[in-house]
A and B are shown apart, each in its own frame.
Chain A
Amino acid sequence: MSGFFSHSSSRRRYPDPNMRGAHYKKRGLFGMFSGLGSGFSSRSSRGYYGQGYPNQGYPNQGYPNPGAFQPTAPSAGGEAVCPKCGTSVPAGSKFWLSCGEKMESNAVFCQNCGRPLPAGAKFCSECGTPVQR
């Protein structure tokens, strides 16, 4: 996943280093409308990293046009396919993202760098560490 953080895209997420004190003494505009804030970014630039990933189709989610949910870039390979719903799951996820079935065997991560390992990988594609299974 090298090159994931382009400087031009992530730079806008840096806080203004010269912010005046008044900024720190009031709640942000979006925060006034949110509750606990337990998990949703209010930023419009969520997808800015531009990293594509294999796509799963999510056939049951009730959201229309699931077929349009296509990958924008190929994965490193080694995706697992759910025997129940037939969709693929990105390396590392311990749940199938379409049907929600648990799949611990897919959640394998490099012992050295922590990145997800594709199914069947013998070495980490990022740091080269041999996979211990």
Chain B
Amino acid sequence: MMCRKRIRKIAEYTVAARIGRGRYGVCFLAHDLRGRKVVLKRFRRRMWRKNRANNHHEAVVLSGLCHPGVPELLGVVNEHRGYYFVLEYMEGKTLEDWLFDKKKIFSADEIYRIGTQLYDILEYLHSHSVVHGDISIANVVDDGGQVSLIDFGLARYAGGDPEDFRLDHARTANVLIYLLYSGYSGKGDRPWYEELPLTGEQRKFLLGLMKPEETEGGEKEAGRGTADIKSEFQKYFGDVHRGIRGEGQP
């Protein structure tokens, strides 16, 4: 018997593959009528109902953003088979896939580029009062030249307190630590700040973001803006400090 692959259509979109899933639903890669790649984000019925008071935040936040590193909200599909957000497809793989599927070792140059682009996106978001709230290696996509930030399901508008942005700062620092560990071959039995071959300034920079209350001067600096943090990152991870990473680092 000949088996034909069924072409699945959701509204005017042709589904090509399932590209991700999580607690909240499933993401499909699809093509629109012009052949453009899009992501269809389908919500699980149970989770949609459970969080019905918050489901709209992602649509509202994305409606107000326009940045090459942020997916555009292209539409909403509400049909009997499910409820979907249609989002711009961001080219590349997640940092999680680069690290753990491709076993990629990120060079100092790449970490600098990714960090800088990530802070560019954050600066834009924070200038629009948006806190992403879920920055992680699974939610940062890189195509080798451009970084994108995805999954705005937990994004919210800040309440006016500069401290609100600290969550994104801490989680971004955590992403950088993942990248710094990509070429590290040690045991991994000590805290990252003891183990990674960082300069004093790099260590202080990351510690200041991860635990400002315990870092000298951290509390005072906790309220500094994202632009300041980006400048510091570029200063401490830029040209002067490249090549300082230890054995086994590219």
A interface list, Cβ under 8 A from B: 1-5, 7, 10, 13-15, 17-28, 30-31, 33-44, 46-47, 49, 51-53, 55-56, 58, 60-65, 68-69, 71-73, 90-100, 102, 107, 109, 113-116, 126
Q: In the assembled complex, which residues on chain A have CB atoms less than 8 Å from the CB atom of B157?
A: 1, 4, 115-116, 126
- How far apart sit A22 and B194, CA to CA, in the bound complex (Å)? 13
Nearest-neighbour CB distance to chain A for B204, whole angstroms, equals 13
A43: which of B50, B127, B134, B161 is its contact (CB, 8 Å)?
B134
Nearest-neighbour CB distance to chain A for B153, whole angstroms, equals 5
Contact present for A1 and B159 (CB under 8 Å): yes
Most chain B CB atoms below 10 A, which of A42, A69, A109: A42
Q: Could you name 19 residue pairs across A and B whose Cβ atoms are closer than 8 Å?
A: A2-B159, A4-B158, A10-B133, A13-B134, A27-B99, A35-B20, A35-B27, A39-B20, A40-B24, A41-B134, A41-B154, A43-B134, A52-B53, A60-B78, A60-B79, A63-B45, A94-B73, A114-B128, A116-B157
Contact present for B64 and A109 (CB under 8 Å): yes
Contact present for A21 and B195 (CB under 8 Å): yes
- How far apart sit A33 and B26, CA to CA, in the bound complex (Å)? 12
Nearest-neighbour CB distance to chain B for A54, whole angstroms, equals 8
Q: In the assembled complex, which residues on chain A have CB atoms less than 8 Å from the CB atom of B57?
A: 51, 53
Contact present for B20 and A31 (CB under 8 Å): no
How many contacts A-B (CB < 8 Å)?
266
Q: Residues 15-39 of chain B: 1 if any A CB is under 8 Å from the residue's CB, otherwise 0? A: 0001111111111000000000001
Contact present for B189 and A21 (CB under 8 Å): yes
Q: Residues 140-176 of chain B: 1 if any A CB is under 8 Å from the residue's CB, otherwise 0? A: 0100000000110110111111011001001101100
Given A5-B158, A39-B20, A46-B154, do A24 and B177 touch, yes or no (CB 8 Å)? yes
Q: In the assembled complex, which residues on chain B have CB atoms less than 8 Å from the CB atom of A28?
A: 96, 138
Given A37-B139, A96-B76, A114-B128, do A15 and B23 touch, yes or no (CB 8 Å)? no
- How far apart sit A102 and B238, CA to CA, in the bound complex (Å)? 44
A61: which of B20, B63, B83 is its contact (CB, 8 Å)?
B83
- Is B248's beta carbon under 8 Å from chain A? no
Size class of the B contact interface (CB-based, 8 Å):
35 or more
- How far apart sit A71 and B55, CA to CA, in the bound complex (Å)? 11
Q: In the assembled complex, which residues on chain B have CB atoms less than 8 Å from the CB atom of A126?
A: 129, 157, 160
A26-B100, A34-B20, A41-B151 given; 5 more Cβ-contact pairs under 8 Å: A5-B159, A37-B94, A49-B156, A64-B45, A68-B52
- Is B4's beta carbon under 8 Å from chain A? no
What is the chain B residue whose CB lies nearest that of A52? B53
Within 8 A of A (CB), among B112-147: 127-131, 133-134, 138-139, 141
- How far apart sit A41 and B57, CA to CA, in the bound complex (Å)? 14
Contact present for A62 and B80 (CB under 8 Å): yes
Nearest-neighbour CB distance to chain A for B4, whole angstroms, equals 24
- How far apart sit A15 and B178, CA to CA, in the bound complex (Å)? 12
- Is B207's beta carbon under 8 Å from chain A? yes
Nearest-neighbour CB distance to chain B for A104, whole angstroms, equals 9
What is the chain B residue whose CB lies nearest that of A23? B188
- How far apart sit A40 and B153, CA to CA, in the bound complex (Å)? 7
Contact present for B48 and A31 (CB under 8 Å): no
B23: which of A21, A41, A49, A99 is its contact (CB, 8 Å)?
A41
B127: which of A17, A20, A60, A114 is its contact (CB, 8 Å)?
A114
Q: In the assembled complex, which residues on chain A have CB atoms less than 8 Å from the CB atom of B133?
A: 10, 13
Given A21-B186, A31-B138, A40-B27, do A49 and B54 touch, yes or no (CB 8 Å)? yes
